[in-house]
Structure formats: structure tokens, C-alpha cells
């Protein structure tokens, strides 16, 4: 659908895009992502010739764009910008169908198309057709912005950080709507963003750019599993990377602030800490931080009148995992012991943290298998709450 | 009060002369303003397209504006336009150029650049961009320039009598020369009323030209 061949853009001596090669398949949603100044927007704007390449060739539908009339080319490509850019002097209906009008549609055809599109995103045509952009919220305005790009039924749509100026909640809504529209209408979309979450959510393929070059172009899953280099890793963010349970260590996922009590403290203090942190047992550590055992609320309550330090009432510590062990090992241990939690200790048996079922759920959803998040989020979240 | 009575008596005695003078004054103003619109609006539009033209046009009109009114009228005689309405109207035409040109330029330049980019990116030609986006959004600013030009001209036109043109300035000069206050009033009051009325009417038109989506009550 779109093909870049050795495309370069120079401003004076400064090369913004350097020998870019990329081809976008029909029906594919490709996100261009990268730090500011990486050339992603320039790359996008070269497709509809708002910026003309210095060298190289760009093909849309097999035709070299430099051999086409720029005005006709642009009318055949949808365009959505970050600042929304609805024309304040036109009604919503006029805004949506502005390209249709340029192409000579009749008023009836335009009206019909505008109604059809508004219904597509669940906006009542009667309510909105004759309004003006300033009467709409930012989110509604950008919905119209997207509809405007769809109106003349282009096969290709360019989006330049379309949701960047919206508040997070509206942004997520519009992302979901776009995803749905895309699945329904099978448009080819090139989407510029600097937000990795957005790219991961929307893209069929992510193209990560830096200094005018493509660093990696891959499906989201592939990019998370096999980032091409350090830059990709850091740009994606370590905690988003997909890793197997053998690669994640317990210290990365444990709670670092478990509820503990020093062995010389009294029972009343133990009870107070349990109450404060709402737990039914405490890890008992000695003055070197070494895990000595645990004390449960039942023991504390039945001996409260007797008194004395907690060290007199210790239960032996549960099985612990050591720093440097993997999550897989922890899961095995947890299953073996039937334990709800595991203390994490260092090689000198000093308490470092606590692995709970909740922290396992966290890594299941965040690190290991992010796909779960999409479909199984409610159950996972509910389980997490209970466990805590 | 006596003066006012004498003024009214004068009008009652010479109604045709009084109305004729006002008509002449309006003619003296409206023709040059209309011509200035015809010249300055397209020039202002062109100036937004060509940077060199912007510089030249704005500097020249700025210089013209600094010439004192009487001197300007005198210059018209010097350059050979003679006496009467012709040099007066030419001078007023030059005076009207700046406000209209400047407002056209500013009005169009102030249209948000992302709107222009969106318009171009969707496939508008330069002319469509101008007619569908830039002019509608700049119209109220251009109108404000026309309003300013008109008001300035109504005032300045009272001086045109010194180079032999008509208008209510004739009453002012006669009143001054004959030390007749009632004649003076016949010139001053209509000039002020015309200026206020023009400002009001053009303000109404300006409001009507603001795109509905941009009016304050919609925000």
C-alpha cells in the first residue's frame, strides 16, 4: 500500500530522515514511534507531500507520489492532526464532509455520509450535524477529526499524534474506538505517536525510529520479546518487556516493605503493628535483620496477658526463597508448600522482602504474558485485591 | 441654546444646501474607502503569499500614514491633481489603505497554522484554502480595518475643503472665518454623527460576518 525506498529528507545539512526503507501492507496499522526529533512526523508528512523528500521514492498503491498531483493525492489520503484542526467556521456536518465537498459530492450525498459516520461512533446525527466545533468537548472534536479523515473513503489514513492532546481517559476511549473502526473498515493507517502504550495497544506493527533511521520494525509482541538493541529496550521500558519466568528474579517482583517486628519487642507492639497494617502474622527478625520466624495473631492474643518479647512465641519460619532465584522456582516452592506467601532472604538469611500471590499476579499480567491483561483483566484484578 | 436655534434656523432656510453638503461629504468618504477595499484586500491577501510584497506594502502604507492630513492634501495639489474633489478623494484613498491592508494581512496570518496545514493536508488548493478557511476566519478582522478607515476618513474629509472640495468642512471653515458659531456647529455635529453612525453600522456588519461557530455566545 505504501512503500518507502531509500527516502531521505535534509534541511540544509541536517538530515532528518536517513535512507528510510519501509513498506506498509494494505489494512495494516503501523505506528511510527520514537523520541522527539527522530523524524517520525517528517516521514508521515512526506506521504501526502506536505513535506517533499530530498531523495528516494515513496509509492502509494504502487504509484510514485512525486508523479501525482499533490492536491489529488492528498484528497485520496485521510489526514488527522494532533491539534484536531476542525474548521471553526464550519458546522460538524461541513467539517466531516469537507473532502467530499472538494471532490464535488452533492449536498445530499455529504449529509448522508456525515449521518452514517456519526452513527458509526455512536453520536446522534440530529444532535451534532448543525453544531460548531467549539460547542463540542475535546474528545468529541477529535472523533469528528477521525470521521473527517474517513469521510471520502480513503484507503490510507495518516495520523499525527491524534490523541496526544487529550486527557488520559478520553485518549483510551478514542484508542479503543479507533481499534474497532480499524477492524471494521480495514483501512491502512500510519500512526505517529511518542506513547509506547498507545503503540502497543493499536499497532499491527511498530516502527521505532531514532535520528532519522528505523531501529526496529516489528509486531508489538515480537518487539517486546526480542528488542533489537539497548535503545529499543530502554525506549520500551524494562517493565514492559516480555520475559519468561526463568528470566525474572524474585527480587524484581517482591514486596520490598513487608511487615516485620524485631524479636525483642513485646506482644502489645506486635498486636499494634498487625492492626495498623491489617495483617494476621508478622515476620520476626533479629537485630541483624535475619529472619527468625513468624508470629501469628492467634498466638499474640492468647498470650497477651503473660507478656514477654515476641521471641518467646515464635513459630518456625516458612520456606523462603533466596535473592537470585527465579520466579519459576518461587512458584514451584509456593505450590509445594501450599503457602500463600514466601519470605525472600539474602544469602545470610536476612529478610529482603515478601513474595505473595498478589505479586505473582502482577508479574503474570505485567511482565510475562501481557496478553492476559487484554482479556482477563477483571478477574486478575479481583484476585489481586482479595489477596492483599 | 441660541446658537443651536440659529443652526436649526439655518437648516430650515437652506434644507437643500444642508442635505447636499452631507451627501457630498458621504460621497467624498465612501468612494475612496470602497476603492481602498478593492485595492487593499487583494493586496493584503497577496502579501500573505509573498513575503517581499508584505514588507514593501506595509512600509509604504506606514509612511503614507505618517504624513499629516493637511500636508497630504497639499501634496495632491503638488502632484498635479489640481483642486476639488479629485485630489481630496485620492488623499482619503491613501489614508484608508493602511488599516485595511494591515488588518487583512494580520487577519489571515493569525489563522492558526495547524488549520492551514489540516486544510492543505486534506487536499485544498491554495484558492480553496483562502476561500473556505482563511477569509471566513479573517473576515471580522478585515471588517474592523474597514471600520477604522471609514471613521478616519469622515474626520479627515472635513479638511478637504481647504483644497476646494465640498462636504461639511465648508460649514466649519465658513464658521471660523465669519466667527459664526452656528455655522461651525453645522459642520462639526454632522461630522461627529456620521462617524459614530458609520462605526455603529459597520460594527453590526462585522458581527454578522463572524462565523457563527466563533461568536462569543457559542463559547
DSSP annotation string for A348-364: T-BEEEEEEHHHHHHHI
pLDDT at A375: 46
Instruction: Give a three-class secondary structure readout of B164-192.
Output: CCCCCHHHHHHHHHCCCHHHHHHHHHHHH
pLDDT at A311: 85
Where are the domains positioned within chain A? 2-240, 250-362
Q: Percentage of chain A surpassing pLDDT 90?
A: 46
DSSP string covering A42-72: HHHHHHTTSS--SEEEEEETTEEGGGS-HHH
pLDDT at A380: 37
B217 contacts in chain A (CB < 8 Å): none
Instruction: Nearest by CB to A71, from B114, B125, B218: name it.
Output: B125
B112 contacts in chain A (CB < 8 Å): 83, 85
Q: What's the rounded mean pLDDT across residues A206-219?
A: 94
- Domains in chain B (CATH in brackets) are 2-211 (1.10.3720.10)
Interfacial B residues in 132-191 facing A (CB < 8 Å): 132-133, 136-137
Cα–Cα distance between A134 and A87 in angstroms, integer?
10
Cα–Cα distance between B112 and B181 in angstroms, integer?
53
DSSP E strands, A211-318? 213-218, 260-262, 281-285, 291-296
C-alpha cell at A135: 460547542
pLDDT at A381: 37
Q: Percentage of chain A surpassing pLDDT 70?
A: 91
Q: Diameter of chain A by CA atoms?
A: 94
pLDDT at B62: 86
CB contact under 8 A, A79 and B119: no
What are the pLDDT digits (tens) for A56-85?
999 999 999 999 999 999 999 999 999 999
* Per-residue confidence band for A367, with pLDDT thresholds at 50, 70 and 90: low
Cα–Cα distance between B165 and B89 in angstroms, integer?
9
CB contact under 8 A, A83 and B114: yes
- Is pTM, for the whole model, over 0.80? no
Nearest chain B Cα distance for residue A197, angstroms: 26
For chain B, report the end-to-end CA distance as a whole number of angstroms.
49
Cα–Cα distance between B114 and B119 in angstroms, integer?
8
* CATH fold of A250-362: CBS-domain (3.10.580)
Contact A206, A223 (CB under 8 A): yes
Cα–Cα distance between A223 and A286 in angstroms, integer?
46
C-alpha cell at B71: 500636508
A148 contacts in chain B (CB < 8 Å): 122
CB contact under 8 A, A50 and B112: no
Answer positive or negative: Cα dihedral of A48, A49, A52, A55: positive
How many residue pairs from chains A and B have C-beta atoms closer than 8 A? 77
Instruction: Nearest by CB to A81, from B117, B124, B132: name it.
Output: B117
- List all residues 6 or more positions away from A339 whose beta carbon is below 8 Å from its beta carbon: A318, A319, A333
Is the complex ipTM higher than 0.90? no
pLDDT at A383: 36
CB contact under 8 A, B123 and A71: yes
* Residues in chain A, total: 388
pLDDT at B193 over 50: yes
Interface check B208 vs A, CB under 8 A: no
CB contact under 8 A, B218 and A81: no
Cα–Cα distance between A312 and A310 in angstroms, integer?
5
pLDDT at A328 over 70: yes
Contact B100, B146 (CB under 8 A): yes
Instruction: Pick the more confident residue, A190 or B214.
Output: A190
A87 contacts in chain B (CB < 8 Å): 115, 118-119, 132-133, 137
Cα–Cα distance between A274 and A120 in angstroms, integer?
54
pLDDT at A382: 37
pLDDT at A386: 37
Q: What's the rounded mean pLDDT across residues A104-120?
A: 94
pLDDT at A379: 39
What are the pLDDT digits (tens) for B23-81?
999 999 999 999 999 999 999 999 999 999 999 988 988 888 888 888 888 888 888 78
Q: Domain A2-240 has what CATH class?
A: alpha beta
* Per-residue confidence band for A364, with pLDDT thresholds at 50, 70 and 90: low
Q: Percentage of chain B surpassing pLDDT 90?
A: 54
Q: A294 phi and psi, to 5 degrees?
A: -130, 160
SS3 B82: coil
C-alpha cell at A47: 506521504
CB contact under 8 A, A81 and B120: no
Work out the number of other CB atoms within 10 angstroms of the CB of residue B2.
8
CB contact under 8 A, B122 and A135: no
pLDDT at A100: 94
Interface check B115 vs A, CB under 8 A: yes
CB contact under 8 A, A88 and B128: no
pLDDT at B76: 86
Q: What residue in B sits closest to A99 (Cα-Cα)?
A: B122
Work out the number of other CB atoms within 10 angstroms of the CB of residue A316.
7
Contact B108, B134 (CB under 8 A): yes
Pairing assessment for the beta strands A77-80 and A156-160 based on DSSP bridges: parallel
pLDDT at B141: 92
Pairing assessment for the beta strands A188-193 and A29-33 based on DSSP bridges: parallel
What are the pLDDT digits (tens) for A172-181?
999 999 999 8
Interface check B212 vs A, CB under 8 A: yes
Instruction: Nearest by CB to B213, from A82, A134, A148: name it.
Output: A134
Q: What's the rounded mean pLDDT across residues A234-252?
A: 75
pLDDT at A26 over 60: yes
User: Which residues of chain A are at the B interface, by a Cβ-Cβ cutoff of 8 Å?
Assistant: 45, 48, 50, 71-76, 79, 81-83, 85, 87-91, 98-99, 102, 132-135, 148, 158
SS3 content of chain B, % helix, strand, coil (to 5): 90, 0, 10
C-alpha cell at A62: 504502487
Cα–Cα distance between A327 and A334 in angstroms, integer?
10
Amino acid at each position: 500500500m505504501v512503500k518507502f525506498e531509500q527516502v531521505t529528507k535534509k534541511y540544509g545539512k541536517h538530515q532528518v530522515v536517513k535512507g528510510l526503507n519501509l513498506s506498509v501492507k494494505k489494512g495494516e496499522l503501523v505506528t511510527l514511534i520514537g523520541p522527539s526529533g527522530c523524524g517520525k512526523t517528517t516521514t508521515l508528512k512526506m506521504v501526502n507531500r506536505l513535506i517533499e523528500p530530498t531523495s528516494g521514492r515513496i509509492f502509494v498503491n504502487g504509484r510514485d507520489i512525486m508523479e501525482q498531483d499533490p492536491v489529488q493525492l492528498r484528497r485520496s489520503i485521510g489526514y488527522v492532526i494532533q491539534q484536531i484542526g476542525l474548521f471553526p467556521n464550519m458546522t460538524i456536518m461541513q467539517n466531516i464532509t469537507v473532502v467530499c465537498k472538494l471532490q464535488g459530492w452533492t449536498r445530499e450525498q455529504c449529509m448522508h455520509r456525515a449521518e452514517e459516520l456519526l452513527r458509526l461512533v455512536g453520536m446522534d446525527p440530529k444532535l451534532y450535524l448543525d453544531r460548531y466545533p467549539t460547542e463540542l468537548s475535546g474528545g468529541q472534536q477529535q472523533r469528528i477529526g477521525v470521521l473527517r479523515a474517513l469521510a471520502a473513503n480513503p484507503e490510507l489514513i495518516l495520523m499525527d499524534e491524534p490523541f496526544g492532546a487529550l486527557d488520559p481517559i478520553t485518549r483510551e476511549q478514542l484508542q479503543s474506538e479507533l481499534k474497532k473502526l480499524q477492524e471494521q473498515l480495514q483501512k491502512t493507517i500510519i500512526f505517529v505517536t511518542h506513547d509506547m502504550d498507545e503503540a502497543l495497544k493499536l499497532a499491527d506493527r511498530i516502527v521505532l525510529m531514532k535520528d532519522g533511521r528505523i531501529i526496529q520494525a516489528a509486531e508489538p509482541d515480537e518487539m517486546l520479546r526480542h528488542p533489537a538493541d539497548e535503545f529499543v529496550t530502554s525506549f520500551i521500558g524494562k517493565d514492559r518487556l516480555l520475559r519468561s519466568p526463568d528470566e525474572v528474579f524474585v527480587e524484581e517482583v517482591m514486596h520490598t516493605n513487608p511487615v516485620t517486628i524485631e524479636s525483642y519487642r513485646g506482644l502489645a507492639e506486635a498486636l499494634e503493628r498487625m492492626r495498623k497494617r491489617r495483617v494476621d502474622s508478622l515476620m520476626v527478625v533479629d537485630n541483624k535483620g535475619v529472619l527468625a520466624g513468624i508470629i501469628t495473631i492467634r498466638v499474640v492474643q492468647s498470650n497477651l496477658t503473660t507478656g514477654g518479647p515476641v521471641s518467646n512465641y515464635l513459630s518456625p519460619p516458612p520456606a523462603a526463597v533466596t535473592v537470585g532465584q527465579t520466579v519459576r522456582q518461587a512458584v514451584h516452592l509456593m505450590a509445594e508448600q501450599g503457602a500463600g506467601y514466601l519470605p525472600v532472604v539474602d544469602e545470610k538469611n536476612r529478610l529482603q522482602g515478601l513474595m505473595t500471590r498478589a505479586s505473582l499476579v502482577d508479574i503474570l499480567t505485567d511482565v510475562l504474558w501481557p496478553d492476559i491483561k487484554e482479556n482477563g483483566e477483571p478477574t486478575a484484578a479481583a484476585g489481586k485485591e482479595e489477596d492483599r | 441654546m441660541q446658537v443651536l436655534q440659529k443652526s436649526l434656523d439655518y437648516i430650515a432656510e437652506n434644507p437643500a444646501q444642508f442635505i447636499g453638503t452631507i451627501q457630498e461629504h458621504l460621497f467624498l468618504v465612501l468612494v475612496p474607502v470602497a476603492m481602498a477595499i478593492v485595492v487593499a484586500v487583494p493586496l493584503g491577501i497577496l502579501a500573505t503569499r509573498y513575503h517581499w510584497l508584505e514588507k514593501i506594502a506595509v512600509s509604504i502604507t506606514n509612511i503614507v500614514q505618517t504624513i499629516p492630513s493637511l500636508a497630504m492634501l497639499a501634496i495632491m495639489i503638488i502632484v498635479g491633481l489640481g483642486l476639488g474633489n479629485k485630489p481630496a478623494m485620492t488623499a482619503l484613498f491613501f489614508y484608508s489603505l493602511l488599516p485595511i491592508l494591515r488588518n487583512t494581512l494580520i487577519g489571515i496570518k493569525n489563522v492558526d497554522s495547524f488549520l492551514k496545514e489540516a486544510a492543505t493536508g486534506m487536499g485544498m488548493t491554495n484558492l480553496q484554502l483562502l476561500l473556505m478557511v482563511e477569509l471566513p476566519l479573517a473576515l471580522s478582522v478585515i471588517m474592523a480595518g474597514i471600520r477604522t478607515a471609514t471613521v478616519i476618513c469622515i474626520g479627515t474629509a472635513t479638511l478637504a475643503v481647504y483644497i476646494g472640495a465640498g462636504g461639511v468642512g465648508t460649514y466649519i471653515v465658513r464658521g471660523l472665518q465669519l466667527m459664526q458659531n452656528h455655522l461651525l456647529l453645522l459642520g462639526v455635529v454632522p461630522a461627529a454623527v456620521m462617524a459614530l453612525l458609520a462605526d455603529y453600522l459597520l460594527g453590526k456588519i462585522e458581527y454578522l460576518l463572524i462565523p457563527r461557530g466563533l461568536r462569543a455566545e457559542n463559547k
